[in-house]
Structure 1
Amino acid sequence: MPSSILLRGGTLLVPDGETERVVPARRDLLVVGDRIASIEEHIDLAAHDLAAHDLAAHDLADVMQVDCSDRIVSPGFIDTHHHLWQTQLKGRHADHTVLDYMPSGNLSGCFFTPSDVYWGQLGGALEALDSGTTTVVDQAHMNYQVEHSEHALAATLTSGIRSVFCYTPTPRVECWQPRLGLAPSILQPWHLPQFARFANLLAAHPRVSLGFGFDGYAFLAPADTRALFQEVRAAGARCITSHCFGNPLLAGGKGVVTVMAEASLLGPDVIVSHATGITPAEEALLAEHGAFVSCTPACEAQLGLGARSAFDGSTRTSLGCDSHSVTRGSMLDQIRLALALARTQRTQTLLATSKYPRAMKPTVQDAFQLATCHAARAVGLRDEIGKLQVGFKADIVTWDCTTPSMACAAAEDPVAALVCHAGTRDIDCVLVDGAFRKRAGKLCDLDCTTQDPTPARSLLASSSLGAHADNSTLAWTRVARELERSRREIQDRMAGARRTGAQGQEAIIDAFGLDGSALTH
C-alpha cells in the first residue's frame, strides 16, 4: 500500500474557518501516512515543499494519484452509538418494540459462540465502512464469556474501522424456561482484569481505543458503581456510554441521568444514547457536566423509544445507528431522519399557532455537522477527525457525482447532495488512517498478515478460531458465507429456548421489574 495518496481535483467539503460550516472547493488533497498533509488548489509534486509537510522520507514516485474530478470528497462519518456484533440478528425486529427486542435480540447474545461474535462484529464493522462510517463508538455488550470480547476486539482490529471499543458488562441469562432468569451480578470475575489487559493492548494503538459501556445501575450500589467508573477511567477509557430513555414502563423510577448525577458519574467523557423522554432537570444536568447525547432516530422510531430532536442548539448532540439488526447501519439514514423529524416538529408547532415558517430549519449543514465535527467532540477527538483539515487523520470518503442519485444534485449543492440524495452505492472510496477500506465502490479485501500486527495477531492467535488460517486475505464474499452459516447455527440453538411475543414481553417485565400496566395495543 502506498505511503502517500494524492486525491486530484475533487470537490472538497472544507471548513470555512469561522464556523463549522463546510464550503465546497475544488482542491487537491495529499495524504501522507495516516494524516492529511496538504490541501491546495493544485499540488505540483515535483515542485512541492517536502520539508513543509514532513515528506522528506517519502519517495514521490510512490505517491498514488486518484482522479477525483467527478467526486465529492468529505470527512468520514462518525457514529456515536452502535452494537456491531448483532449482524446475524438482522431482519427479525421489523415489527418489534424494545420489549420484544430484549429477549429476541439483545439477550440472545447468549446463543452466540465466540466464533459467531467474531463474524457478527466483522460484518457490522464492514457494513459501517461500506456506508461511509469511518469511526464508531461501539457499545460491545456481548461478553457472556471471556472469549466473546476477545473475538469482538480481534474482529474490530481486522476490519480497519476506527473504533472506541466500549467494553460493556451485560446481564447474563441463567435460564429461559420456565421463566427468564438473570444472574444476580452484572460483573463477572474476568471483566475488570480483561478490561485492564485490553487497555494495555490498545494504549498506543492509532486507530482503536478502549471505552466502557454500562447499563447495570440497578445491579450495583452507587458506591460500587462509582468505584467501577473510577477504575475504568484510571485505566484510560476514552469515553463511557450508557443507554438512557424515559418510559412509562419504568414506573416513575429515577432516570439514568439522575442516577449518574447523584453518584457523581457524569462528565465530559460520558455519552448517553437516546435520551428520549428525559426531564428538563436531567437535560440541565447533562449540560452542566458537559456530557454528550447520541440520538439514533431510526431505532428510536422502530423500537418505540420515543423521539428527541438532535438539534438542541448545542454541539453536544451527535448521531448513531444503534442496532443494524433493526435498521440499516448507515449514517445517511440517521442524518435524514433526524433532519425530517426536527423540521416536522418545528413546522407542527408553528402550524398549531397559525404560523408558517419563512425558512426551513434546521439546515442540511446543521445535519451534516451532527455526523462529523459534533460527533468528533463526543469521542474526544475534535482535533483529529471530523474535518478535512491539514494535520487531521485521513478518514475520507469520496462520492461519485455521476450516479443516477447524484447527477445534478452534486453540481447544485454538494452538501445537499449527500444529506438528501446520496446512498451507500454512491460511495466510491473510503479511507481510514490513509488506507483504502473501500475502493471503486467495493469493500477492499482485508490483509490479515499485516493489519495491526501486534494487537490483532495476539488476539487472533490466542482466541479467534484461526478464522484466516487458510488465507492471508479475507474478502467480503467469505465474510458473507460465514455470517449465513453462523446465523443458521444460532437459530438452531435458539429453537425452543427463547421466549417470544407476549410471553417474551412478560418475561422481560418480570426480570427487570417494569410496570406492565403501562402496556397497550
Structure 2
Amino acid sequence: MEMINGGTTCVVDHAHLNYGADYNASAISATVASGLRSIYGYCPTARVESWNPLVMNNNILADDVINNLEELASAAPFGDGRVTLGVAFDAWFLPKPSIISLFDKVAKLGIRTITSHSVRTPSFGASGSLPKLIDSYGLLDDRFLLSHSNNMTPEEVELCHSKGFWISSTPGTELQMAHGSPVCFDDKIGVQSKCSLGVDCHSNNSGDLMTQMRLALQSARGRSNEQFNMNDKDPRSAYKTVEEAFNLGTIQGARAVHMQDQIGSIAVGKVADLIIFDATSVAMVCAAQHDPVAAIVLHSSPADVDTVIVGGHIRKRNGRLVPVCLDDVGRSIAGKETLEWKEIARELVEGRKEIQKKIDTHDVEDARKVTVARLHIDESKIRHRVDDI
C-alpha cells in the first residue's frame, strides 16, 4: 500500500549568503543538480575582513553585490525553471535611501519572493517592529515571507492581513530558541490563514516538514490543554486538526510563494511534484489504514518516504536518493558526471572536520562578543536558568 501526497517540494533557500559570483554559481549548480524545486534567496551580507580577531566589512550593498544580483536575474530561472530567484534581506539597519534603492532594483528585476527574519524577544528586537518598518518605507506587500513572527502585536496582525505578507513559522527553531509560541496555530492573533511552515536551520533541526507539522500541532495542543488544566478542567477534544497541520506544510507553503497554481496539492494542470509514502512501514502501517493524513502528520519520518517525484522526474526511489547529474560547474568541481549520496556524505563529513579545525584556531569568545554587538542583543536580559529570573 502506498500513499501519495501532493505536498509542495518548493524550498525557499533563506538565505544564500552572498560571498561572490563564484559562490552563487556553485550554490545554484548544486541546487539544480539536487532536483529540488527551489527559490534561491540571494542575500546581501557583511563579509569577514579578518577572522582573528573577527572584523566585518559592512559594505553590504557594494557595486559587485548589486551586479551579481542583476546577473543572476538575467540568467534566471535555472534548471528548466525549477530554481527561481528570490532575495533574502536582514540588513534593515542600513540607511533608508539605500534600502529603498535596493528594493526598487528588486522590483524592476521582477523578483517576487523576499524573505526576512522577524521576531520579538526580550533580548533581541523587543522594541522594534519589522513589518511596521518595512511598511513605513512603502515596501510591504505580498512579496514578503517573514520567518518566525513570534509575539506579533495587533498592529502587525492587521498589517499581515491588509498588506498580504506571509509568515513562515518554524516550530523546531522557535521552541528551542525561546522565540515564543509558534504563531501558526495561535487563535488569539488570528494569522493561521497567512502562515506556512519552514524548517529553518538544518544544522539545528530535522530537515523534514513532517516534523514541523507535528511540533506545531502538538505545541499548540499543549498550550491549549494548559488553559483547561489551570481552570481545573479537561478538554473534550484535541485542539486543532491533523488536516490543518498538513495544509500548513503543503498548500499553504505553495500559497506563501505564489505557486499554488503549480504545486501544493494534486490537481489537473499542476506540475507532477509528488511524495509517495510506504504506508506499510513500521511507523505508519496501522495509522494509514485509519487516517492517512494523521499517519503522515503524527507518525511519519523521511524514512517512510519511498519515492519523490519533482516535475515528473524521480529523485528518490525505493527509499534511496537517486544519483544526480552535474552541470558544467558541478563537473568542474567534482571531476565527474554524476554523484551518489554516499559520495556527497563523505565530502560533508570531511568538510565538517575542516570547519572544526578552523574554529579551533579562533577566539570563539571574541567572535561571540562581535556577533552579539552586531545583532544588538541585550545580554542583560539573558539568564542561564529559570531559577535565575
Deviation at 1:279, TM superposition (A): 2.0
CA deviation vs aligned residue, 1:410-459 (integer Å, no higher than 9, x gap): 111111111111111111100000100000110001123xxxxxxx54xx
Query: Which residue of 422, 432, 436 corresponds with 2:300?
Result: 422
| Unpaired segments ≥5 residues, structure 2 | 385-389
Q: What is the 5 A alignment of 1:468-507? A: 468-470=334-336, 472-500=337-365, 503-507=366-370
Deviation at 1:498, TM superposition (A): 4.8
Q: What is the 5 A alignment of 1:6-405? A: 70-76=1-7, 78=8, 134-178=9-53, 180-203=54-77, 205-218=80-93, 220-250=94-124, 252-311=126-185, 312=190, 314-405=192-283
Tell me the SS of whatever aligns to 2:240: coil
Letter in 2 for 1:420: L
Letter in 2 for 1:483: L
Tell me the SS of whatever aligns to 1:182: strand
- 1:466 corresponding residue in structure 2: 332
Q: Is the 8 A contact 1:176 1:499 kept in 2?
A: no
Query: Aligned partners of 2:206, 2:126: CA distance in 1, in Å?
Result: 33
Query: Aligned partners of 1:466, 1:386: CA distance in 2, in Å?
Result: 35
Query: Aligned partners of 1:251, 1:384: CA distance in 2, in Å?
Result: 36
| Unpaired segments ≥5 residues, structure 1 | 1-69, 79-133, 449-455
Letter in 2 for 1:467: I
CA deviation vs aligned residue, 1:159-184 (integer Å, no higher than 9, x gap): 11000111011222223444x43222
Q: 1:513 to 1:314 in 2, by over 3 A?
A: closer
Q: 1:409 to 1:512 in 2, by over 3 A?
A: closer
Q: 1:176 to 1:203 in 2, by over 3 A?
A: closer
Tell me the SS of whatever aligns to 1:387: coil
CA deviation vs aligned residue, 1:68-108 (integer Å, no higher than 9, x gap): xx1001113x4xxxxxxxxxxxxxxxxxxxxxxxxxxxxxx
Q: 1:469 to 1:175 in 2, by over 3 A?
A: closer
Tell me the SS of whatever aligns to 2:18: coil
Q: Percent identity?
A: 35
Q: 1:425 to 1:251 in 2, by over 3 A?
A: closer
Query: Aligned partners of 1:504, 1:432: CA distance in 2, in Å?
Result: 41
Tell me the SS of whatever aligns to 1:482: helix
Query: Aligned partners of 1:253, 1:413: CA distance in 2, in Å?
Result: 45
Query: Aligned partners of 2:375, 2:168: CA distance in 1, in Å?
Result: 24
Letter in 2 for 1:381: M
Query: Which residue of 374, 382, 385 corresponds with 1:511?
Result: 374
RMSD, aligned α-carbons: 1.9
Q: Is the 8 A contact 1:309 1:341 kept in 2?
A: no
Q: Is the 8 A contact 1:209 1:238 kept in 2?
A: no
Q: 1:174 to 1:313 in 2, by over 3 A?
A: closer
Provide TM-score, normalisation by structure 2. Answer: 0.92
Query: Aligned partners of 1:382, 1:236: CA distance in 2, in Å?
Result: 19
Are 2:368 and 1:437 aligned? Answer: no
Query: Aligned partners of 1:420, 1:428: CA distance in 2, in Å?
Result: 18
Q: 1:199 to 1:377 in 2, by over 3 A?
A: same
Query: Aligned partners of 1:434, 1:217: CA distance in 2, in Å?
Result: 40
- 1:87 corresponding residue in structure 2: none
Query: Aligned partners of 2:239, 2:30: CA distance in 1, in Å?
Result: 40
CA deviation vs aligned residue, 1:215-270 (integer Å, no higher than 9, x gap): 0011x212221221121122121200001100222465422222111111211111
Q: Is the 8 A contact 1:274 1:294 kept in 2?
A: yes
Query: Aligned partners of 2:301, 2:145: CA distance in 1, in Å?
Result: 28
Query: Aligned partners of 1:406, 1:513: CA distance in 2, in Å?
Result: 46
Deviation at 1:465, TM superposition (A): 7.0
Provide TM-score, normalisation by structure 1. Answer: 0.69
Q: 1:234 to 1:473 in 2, by over 3 A?
A: same
Q: Which gives a bigger RCO, structure 1 or 2 (Cα 8 Å, sep 6+)?
A: 1
Q: 1:504 to 1:469 in 2, by over 3 A?
A: closer
Letter in 2 for 1:74: N
CA deviation vs aligned residue, 1:272-308 (integer Å, no higher than 9, x gap): 0001123221222122100000011101122332222
Q: Is the 8 A contact 1:164 1:238 kept in 2?
A: no
Q: 1:505 to 1:247 in 2, by over 3 A?
A: farther
Query: Aligned partners of 1:198, 1:395: CA distance in 2, in Å?
Result: 25
Letter in 1 for 2:172: A
Query: Aligned partners of 1:276, 1:505: CA distance in 2, in Å?
Result: 24
- 2:286 corresponding residue in structure 1: 408
Query: Aligned partners of 1:465, 1:438: CA distance in 2, in Å?
Result: 22
